[in-house]
Amino acid sequence: MSDRLRPESTIDLAASAGTLLGVLREAPPLTHCITNAVVTGFTANVLLAVGAAPAMVDIVGESGMFAGVASGLLINLGTPTPEQRAASVEAVAGASAAGTPWVLDPVAIGALPVRTALAQELVAQRPTAIRGNASEILALAGLSAGGRGVDATDSTDAAADAALSLAARFGSVVAVSGPVDLITDGQRVLRIANGDELLTRVTGGGCALGAVMAAFLGAARRAGVDAFTAVASASLVYTIAAEQAALRSTGPGSFAVALLDALSAVSAADLAAGARVESGAL
């Protein structure tokens, strides 16, 4: 592995994440979400649980203005109705003008033409972060036709080159979600091996992570922390909370409730004790 692909410190991620979580909870970042209709309520509850302030503003004529005052923005393409498509373009323009960090979640792109075209239009506006499963990241980079709807048919490592390509082309932090999350800014790379399979059995498990990343980016902007650390911190907090929730669950229903409780309670000490973070070649 070349030196340029080494993270500044894998050991320090847990400490950085704990500090940033404290910043977020002290001053809840207003997190603007244009997200899919299936997960709106769950996403809002996840943001509230972790300590952020959610706002689901997806109306044309309001979304751009709101993105300009928000701390962070999520654009999720899960149910891209005509109104949401226009609101997303407007919100990204507002965020870009105001310097608001934003996350693109290109849900189910590849074979589906409407959302794929929109994803390509939006990624050209240089999102602060891109979060998707391996098949979505490969499709966004033009290297595959996508997965099976919202489900990935490719491994995280199979999307590593695509993640590096997107990071280099658009200056974004790219997070590939899977059993092991891969996060890169094109110079550094981390693999986070925390989490639980039950996240894949709750509607919105991945989509809500994109919102948490937007919240952490908002807190990081206030704290002067770089986007790579913010995105990796969000992933670590979310996946360790998922592990804690799984221990108290008997199935997907109880897990969804326990995840909210765990996100509310997860601490810097939990992150330090439970983090499984590695560096590795892309």
Annotated binding residues, written as ranges, equal 56, 131, 177, 204
**Torsion sign (Cα): 32, 68, 234, 147:** positive
Chain centroid to CA 211: 6
- Residue 45 near residue 68 (C-beta atoms within 8 A): no
Nearest by Cα to 24 from 195, 214, 236: 214
Q: Are strands 72-76 and 102-105 parallel, antiparallel or unpaired?
A: parallel
Nearest by Cα to 129 from 73, 68, 80, 188: 73
Annotated binding residues for ATP, written as ranges, equal 131, 177
Name residue 151's amino acid: D
Sheet-wide strand order for 102-105: 53-55, 30-34, 72-76, 102-105, 129-133, 173-177, 181-184, 189-192, 277-278
Annotated binding residues for substrate, written as ranges, equal 56, 204
Q: CA 16, CA 24: separation in Å to the nearest integer? A: 12
